[in-house]
Chain A
Amino acid sequence: MYNLPTKIQEEILKYTEENKISEKQQQQIIDAVTKIHKMSTYDPQEPMGVVAAQSISEPATQMTMRTYHFAGTAGIQVTLGLPRVLEIFDARKEPRTPTMTIYIEKSHQTLDRVRKIAENIKEVKLRDLVKSTILDLTELKIKYKLDLERLHALDVDEKKLSRLVNVRNAVAELAGEMLHVIPKKKDITNIHKIKFGVLEAHVKGIKGITQVLVTKEEGEWVINTLGSNLKKVFEIEGVDATRTTSNNIFEILDVLGVEAARNAIIKQTRFTLDEQGLVVDPRYIMLLADMMTTEGNVKAIGRYGISGEKDSVLVRASFEETKKHLTSAAIHGECDLLKGTIENIMVNQVAPVGTGAFDLVGKIPQQLPEEEK
C-alpha cells in the first residue's frame, strides 16, 4: 500500500468532511492524488542529488553579476543574489548584512507603540548624542558638549549618562550641558585614544542594531532592522517571538534550534532566488537544507563541510586538498570500497547509479539438462 504523506492525508480528510463527500468518492480522490504523488517521486537509485545540484546551479549561473538592487528606496540594503546564496551554502558564521524582521503582538499594534519598541531596539552610542568634542589639554580632560534635544527625544536621562559611559581608565561626570571625562592616567597621548573610545560607548538599545525601520506589511506594523540579536529582542515586551526572524542562520540555530535553522536555510534561499526571478523547485532546496543540518548543526557545502566529509578517499582527494587526504588515508590505512559514483568513474567501472545500480547474478549451467538435449 502506497502511503501518502500525513499532511496530504489530513488535508483530503478535512476537505471531504467539510464538503460531505461519500466514502467511495473519497477513495477516488485518494487514488487520484496517489497517482500524481507517485509520478512526482524519484525512482530507486535515481541520482536526485545530482539533479538537485543541476537544478540549483543552472539558474545560479544566470544570477552571476546580474544582481540588481534598488538603490535609494526606503528600506534596508541587504546582500542579495549570488553573494547571499554563497553565504547561505557556505554556512558563514555571520552574514554580511544581518537583518531581523520583528513582528509585534496584536495588543501592541499601534504605530506609536511600535515606534517606541523600534526606538528602544536601536543602538545609541554617545557619538549620536554629542554636538562637539573639546580636548582640554590644560586640565587633561575631554569635554563633550551634549545635544540635549536629541537626548530627550531618545528618552535618555542625562543624569544616568555618566554611569552608562564607563570607559577603561577614565571617569565620567556630568557638568551642566557638558560631559567631562577625566582619564586616570595624566598623559596626552592617552587622552586622544580615550576621546574616540568614549564616543563609541553604548548608551541604549541592543548592541549591533544600527538601523531600524517601521513598515506596514500585510496590514500590520513590522520592524525591520539592520543588525541582528534575536535573544535580546525576544525579551522585549510586545515582540511576537513566534514569528520574529533573523537572516543569521547560526543565530537561529543557537536560539531556536536545528529545525528552525533548516527552515531558515530554505526560506532564505527561496527568498533570494525569488528576488532574482528564478524558479527552483523548493524540494531541491529542502534536500540541500536537510543535507546541511542532518547532524544537528549547520554544515557548509564544500571543503570543510559535506564534500570534505565524504566516505571515499579517492573522492575527497580528487576534490580539494589532495595531499592532505592521501596522507591521512595512508596513515590510518583507510579503505575505499568503491561504492560511490565518482570513484567508479575514476577507475572506469560501472557506477552504481541508475541502470548500473543492479547486478544480475546467477549460475549458468555448464551443460543443458538431459531432457532438453
Chain B
Amino acid sequence: MTKEKVDVYFNGRYLSHITNPEAFVDDIKTKRRAGILPHQLNVSYLTAFNEVRISTEHGRVRRPLVIVENGKSKFTPSLAEKLKEGKIDWQYLVQHGVIEYLDATEEENSYIALEVKDVTKDHTHLEINPLTMMGFSANLIPYPEYNRGDRINYGAKMVGQAIGMPSINYLLRSDTKFNIMTYPQAPLVETVTSGPLIAYPEGQNVVVAIMCYDGYNMNDAIVINKSSVQRGLFRSFYFRTYETIKKRYWSGQEDDITIPDPAVRGHRGEDAYRDLGENGIINPETRVQSDSVLVGKVSPLRFLSAEEFAAGIENKRETSMTLRHGEKGIVDKVMITETQDANHLIKIRIRDERIPELGDKFASRHGQKGVVSLLVPQEDMPFTGNGSVPDLIFNPHAIPSRMTVGHLLELIAGKAGALGGKIYDGSAFNHVKEDEIRKAMVDLGFRDDGKETLYDGRTGRKYDVLIFTGITFYLKLDHMVQDKIHARSRGPVTLLTKQPTEGRAKRGGLRIGEMEQQCLVGHGAALTLKERFDSDKTVIPVCTKCGMIAIHDVIKNKSYCALCKDTEIVWVETAYAFKLTLDEMKAMGIYPKIVTEDM
C-alpha cells in the first residue's frame, strides 16, 4: 500500500508533498532548536487538513515556553543557578533550545504542562509561569482566578484607563492630552507585573468599607470621604497642548501673530485679548476659561466684496487660537519653535487641576467601577472603634451577581498588609494564601474575616452588623464629568440644514430620535410634537399659482413669483429640511408643487 501524501505549505504557498509528516516536522523542530533554522520559524502538522504548515511571516502572535523532552524539562536546576548568577540570559536559553516560541498553529500540536510537577512523558512543553497565559494588564489584577472571567477582561480594560503617572518626564513633554495623578501609590497587594511598574503607579490605596450609605451608593455609585479628597486623595492634573502655526501663503502674505486690530474681521472685542502679551501670546501662569484667546492671530483673506473694499475694511481675518469649549485651566508652559518648513510654531500647554467631584469615575482592579455620588465630610462618615474612617464606601450589592471574590481577598490582604507593614503578593495562581492572611490578621489583633464594628458618624450609634472593612487599590479613571457635562438651550446650527449641531465640542443639541418621536405620537401630544421638531422652522413665501417658492425682496418689501411674475404670495411655515427636500427634488427634475389652502 502506498503511503498517503501530505501537502507542505510554506507561508501559505504550496511547496511540495511528503510521505512521512511526523518525521519531517520533528526534523525541522530539532534543527530549529539546534539553531540551524531560525527560531522564528514555526511548523505544525494538521491532521484534520492533512497538511504541514511552515510559517515565518510577521504578525503571528507567539509566546515562549520551556521545551520538554522525554518527560523532562530542559530548564534544568543547573541552568537556573547559572541564570541566577547572571552567567547566562534569556537569549542564551532561546538559542540553546531551552525555550522556544510557539505560534497559534504550532500550539495545536503541543501538550503544555502548567507546572513542573505536572510534567509527564506525553508533554512537549512547560509553561514558564502559568500567568503568562494572561496579558500585561490582566496580570495587574490580584487574585484573578477567584474572579469570574469577564471581570478580568473588564478590569484589564479599566487599568488602561487609569490616571496615574505614565511617564516621569511629563513636565518636558508636550502631548496633546495627558493626565498625571499627584500622589500615586504602589498597590499594597502587588502582582508580578506591578513590581517592575513601580515607577509608573496607576492608583491609590484607599480604606474601603463595604456597606450602604443611605441610598447614595446604590447602583454602583460610590461615596467618598470629602475630607480625604481635601487632603489630596485622587487629585490629578490634566494637561493639554495647543499649537498654532504662523503660516506663509503663496501670495507672499503670511499670518500675523499679534493682538488683532479692532478693524479685523471677526474681532472678538478688546476684552478677549486682555491676557495676551505684547507679542500676541498669552503669558505663563495665566488663568484661562472656556474659549479664552491663547494666541492672537490674523490671517490674510482671499476675497473681499466690493462694498467692503470701498468701506476700507482691512483685508484680514481673525484666526486666533482659543481654549477648547468647556475647558479651563492655567497656562503651564509656552513654547515657541519652528516647524520643518521654517514656519513659526507656538505650543501652549494648559494645566488643569482635577479634584474628585460628583460624577467622576473610579474602579478597583476587578472590574468594579462606579461613579461618585456623594462626598461626605469625615465627621459624617462611619468610623471604627479605634477611630479610623473609610475613604470610600462600596455597596455590597455589587458583589453577589458579579462574583468578584478576588476583590474581597484583595481588600483583606490589603488590610493585613497595611497593618503589618507588608506588601502581599496577589499574582495569578501563585500568591499568598487566604489562610496566611487570616493568620496575620489574628496576630495583629483583628478579626480574621476583616469585619469590624462601625459607628454611624452622624448619630454616633453602633451599626447592628459587623462591616467588612479593609484596603483596596483604587483607580481614578479618565472619565471625568468636567469633560462630559453638556447642555444647550440655544446654540449654533449647521449651514446646510439649519438644524442644531451635533456633539459637545460644537455645543450641539441632543437629538430627539425616531423612537422619541413615536413616543410623543403615541401619547397624542400633537402640539408638543410640533414644538420639539421645529428647531429648523422657517417661513417661506409660496406662489399660489405655480406652487413654487417665491422671492421676497427685502429692500422693496415686496414678494413676487420669479416664474409667473405673480404677486399673490402666501407665507407658509415649514421645516427648513423640507424646503431642502423640495430643492433636491427640483434638482432631480421633479416639480414639487405646493398647493395652499385657507384655514
Contact = CB atoms under 8 A, between A and B. Distances in A.
Interface of A: 45-47, 50-51, 53-54, 326-327, 329-330, 335, 341, 345-357, 359, 361
B588 A348 contact: no
Contact of A326 (B518, B521, B577, B588): B588
Given A326-B590, A348-B575, A351-B529, A47 B524 contact: yes
Given A326-B590, A354-B523, A349 B573 contact: yes
A318 to B, nearest CB: 9
A351 B530 contact: yes
Contact of A347 (B519, B527, B574): B574
Q: Which 9 A-B pairs have the closest CB atoms?
A: A354-B524, A356-B526, A348-B575, A330-B590, A50-B522, A347-B574, A355-B526, A347-B578, A50-B521
B578 A46 contact: no
B50 interface: no
Query: Which of B518, B522, B590 has most chain A Cβ within 10 Å?
Result: B522
B525 interface: yes
Interface of B: 517-519, 521-527, 529-530, 533-534, 536-537, 573-575, 577-578, 581, 585, 588-591, 595, 599
A346 B518 contact: no
Given A326-B588, A347-B578, A350-B530, A47 B522 contact: yes
Nearest to A348: B575
Contacts of B523: 354
A53 B522 CA distance: 10
Contact of B537 (A53, A348, A350): A348
Contacts of B585: 326
A352 B574 contact: no
A350 B526 contact: yes
A330 B534 CA distance: 28
Contacts of A356: 524, 526-527, 529-530
Given A330-B590, A349-B530, A355 B525 contact: yes
A353 B521 contact: yes
23 contacts: A47-B524, A50-B518, A50-B522, A54-B519, A345-B530, A345-B533, A346-B581, A347-B575, A348-B530, A348-B536, A348-B537, A348-B574, A348-B578, A350-B526, A351-B530, A353-B521, A353-B524, A353-B526, A356-B526, A356-B527, A356-B530, A359-B599, A361-B599
B597 to A, nearest CB: 10
A47 B537 contact: no
A345 B588 contact: no
B590 A355 contact: no
Contacts of A350: 526-527, 530
Contacts of B589: 330
A53 B530 CA distance: 21
A327 B525 CA distance: 34
Contacts of A47: 521-522, 524
Contact of B534 (A45, A346, A348): A348
B573 A352 contact: no
Given A329-B590, A346-B577, A355-B525, 20 more contacts: A45-B524, A51-B522, A326-B585, A330-B589, A330-B591, A346-B581, A347-B574, A348-B533, A348-B575, A349-B573, A350-B526, A350-B530, A352-B526, A353-B521, A354-B523, A354-B524, A355-B524, A355-B526, A355-B527, A356-B527
A54 B524 contact: no
B517 A345 contact: yes
Contacts of A351: 521, 526, 529-530
B520 to A, nearest CB: 9
Nearest to B588: A326
A244 B251 CA distance: 88
A222 B534 CA distance: 61
A53 B527 contact: no
B573 A348 contact: yes
A326 B574 CA distance: 20
B2 to A, nearest CB: 24
B526 A354 contact: yes
A345 B529 contact: yes
B571 to A, nearest CB: 14
B529 A53 contact: no
Nearest to A55: B522
B309 to A, nearest CB: 40
Contact of A54 (B518, B574, B595, B599): B518
A352 B529 CA distance: 11
Contacts of A330: 589-591
A252 B444 CA distance: 79
A346 B526 contact: no
B537 A357 contact: no
